[in-house]
Amino acid sequence: MEQFYPLLSARLKALILELNGKKIAVVGHARPDGDCIGSQVGLTRVLRALGLDAVCINADPVPRRLQFLIRETEFIRAEDVLPIASDYTAIFVDCADSERCGKRLQGAFPRPIAMFDHHISNTGFAVHDFIDVGSAATAEMLAGMFVDLGYPIDADAAQALYTGILTDTGQFMFPSTTRRTFLLAAELLVKGAHPSEAGFQLYERETMGKWRLVEAFLKSLKLECAGRLCVGILPRSVFVDTGSTSEDTEGLVDYARSIEGVDVGALIEEREDGTLKASLRAKDSAYRLDRIAAMFGGGGHACAAGLSLQTDTKEFYGKLVTEISKQIEIVNGEGST
Q: Does 3 bind a copy of itself (CB under 8 A)?
A: no
What is the spatial distance between Cα 285 and Cα 55, in angstroms, rounded to a whole number?
37
Nearest CB to a copy of itself, comparing residues 221 and 294: 221
Q: Does 200 bind a copy of itself (CB under 8 A)?
A: yes
Q: Is 116 in a helix, a strand, or coil?
A: strand
**Other beta carbons within 10 Å of 54:** 24
What is the spatial distance between Cα 93 and Cα 170, in angstroms, rounded to a whole number?
19
User: Site for a copy of itself (CB under 8 A): how many residues?
Assistant: 42
What is the spatial distance between Cα 211 and Cα 102, in angstroms, rounded to a whole number?
31
What is the spatial distance between Cα 106 and Cα 209, in angstroms, rounded to a whole number?
35
67, 237, 258, 322: which one binds a copy of itself (CB under 8 A): 258
Q: Does 152 bind a copy of itself (CB under 8 A)?
A: no
CB of 209 to a copy of itself, least distance (A): 10
Instruction: Write the binding mask 259 to 298 for a copy of itself: x where contact by CB under 8 A, - elsewhere.
Output: xx----------------------x---------------
CB of 193 to a copy of itself, least distance (A): 10
Q: Does 103 bind a copy of itself (CB under 8 A)?
A: no
Q: Give the N- to C-terminal CA distance of the chain in Å, as an integer.
A: 50
Give helix 34-49 / helix 155-168 axis angle, nearest 10°: 150
Q: Does 247 bind a copy of itself (CB under 8 A)?
A: no
CB of 212 to a copy of itself, least distance (A): 7
Q: Does 207 bind a copy of itself (CB under 8 A)?
A: yes
Strands 276-282 and 304-309, sheet pairing: antiparallel
What is the spatial distance between Cα 110 and Cα 135, in angstroms, rounded to a whole number?
26
Q: Does 120 bind a copy of itself (CB under 8 A)?
A: no
- Fill in the amino acid letter for 85: A
Judged by CB under 8 A, which stretch of 119-127, 140-148, 177-185, 245-253 contacts a copy of itself? 177-185
Nearest CB to a copy of itself, comparing residues 84 and 208: 208
Length of the chain equals 337
Q: Are 142 and 151 a contacting pair, CB within 8 Å?
A: no
Residues of the shown chain interacting with a copy of itself in the complex, contacts defined by CB under 8 A = 166, 170-175, 177-180, 182-183, 185-186, 189-190, 195-196, 198-200, 203-208, 211-212, 214-215, 218-219, 221, 223, 255, 257-260, 283
